[in-house]
Amino acid sequence: MTAALLEVRDLHAGYGRVAVLDGVSLEVPERGLVALVGSNGAGKSTLLRALSGLLRGTTGTIIFGGETLNGAAPAAIVRRGLLHVAEGRRLFRAQSVRDNLALGLWGTRLSKADAAARFDRVYTLFPTLHERQGVRAGILSGGQQQMLAVAQALMHAPRLLMLDEPSLGLAPAVIDQLLDAVVQLRNDGCAILLVEQMVERALQIADTAYVLQNGRVIGHGAARDLRDSDLVRQAYLGAGAKPPAPSIHSSRSPA
């Protein structure tokens, strides 16, 4: 069995007095691609923010690479190799593509040769960024900006990359490019935790998946089994769904 790179146990988090996550537990294995699916408001983005240290005041246990992350600052979490590409393509829009990528190297202290190898890697994964490396990020298309946001995180050579809704607002052809790149990253050895609105596509490429509803994991299992079960429909549409298939690990009794 593949060892867990990320282990989350009984995680509770929220905003002020508003509780969002209610005892979430999950694992991401080394070199694994794990999808996290659920309706809007289920707590998916909140979970990623808690794991990356952006959301404080959480309770529970977060272990990454055998070390506890509870209370660690976001910069320290990045240094350990856990990178978060948030929804919204948060780039330095007045800076060029290459400058945005160079900013992704902040704090790495690489040699010139190693830094050049990082540029080569992301340009190979996203050739359009190489073609437009001198262009300001703010005038790129939405798809190119999303590629740049992912590439900027990759400059840090993460052990685990968390992606929050990478396909949001993009054309189908661009979505195909992005998700193909996600699969390639997994094949190259980077673990992925993927939050994706296109549930069917996410479950096509993922190894395993967790279904989140109202801040709780209501089931998990092999992604191919979840595609054929009714558990995802239950998470999105409520209690009118059929019981999940026996191969799925359900965290509560079916409605």
- Per-residue pLDDT tens digits of the chain, which is 255 residues long: 467 999 999 999 999 889 999 999 999 999 999 999 999 999 999 999 999 999 987 899 999 999 999 999 999 999 999 999 998 777 999 999 999 999 999 888 889 999 999 999 999 999 999 999 999 999 999 999 999 999 999 999 999 999 999 998 899 999 999 999 999 999 999 999 999 988 999 999 999 999 999 999 999 999 999 987 888 887 776 644 444 443 455 554 333
Is pTM beyond 0.85? Reply is: yes
Cα 71 from chain centroid?
20
Residues 6+ apart with CB under 8 A from 145: 89, 91, 137
H/E run at residue 35: strand 33-37
Domain 1-42+57-81+194-230, CATH number (from 3.40.50.300, 3.40.50.720, 3.30.70.141, 2.60.40.420): 3.40.50.300
- State phi, psi for 179 to the nearest 5 degrees: -70, -30
Determine the Cα–Cα distance for residues 62 and 143; give it in Å rounded to an integer: 32
CB 62 within 8 A of CB 28: no
What tokens were used for 3?
Answer: 């060892």
CB 85 within 8 A of CB 48: no
| Pairing mode of beta strands 33-37, 191-195 | parallel
Domain segments of the chain as ranges: 1-42+57-81+194-230
Determine the Cα–Cα distance for residues 60 and 204; give it in Å rounded to an integer: 31
What Cα–Cα distance (Å) separates residue 223 from each residue in 129, 196, 201, 226, 231?
Answer: 31, 13, 10, 5, 12
What does the buried/exposed string (b/e) look like for 169-186 if buried means 16 or more CB atoms within 10 Å of the residue's CB?
ebeeebbebbbebbeebb
Determine the Cα–Cα distance for residues 112 and 96; give it in Å rounded to an integer: 20
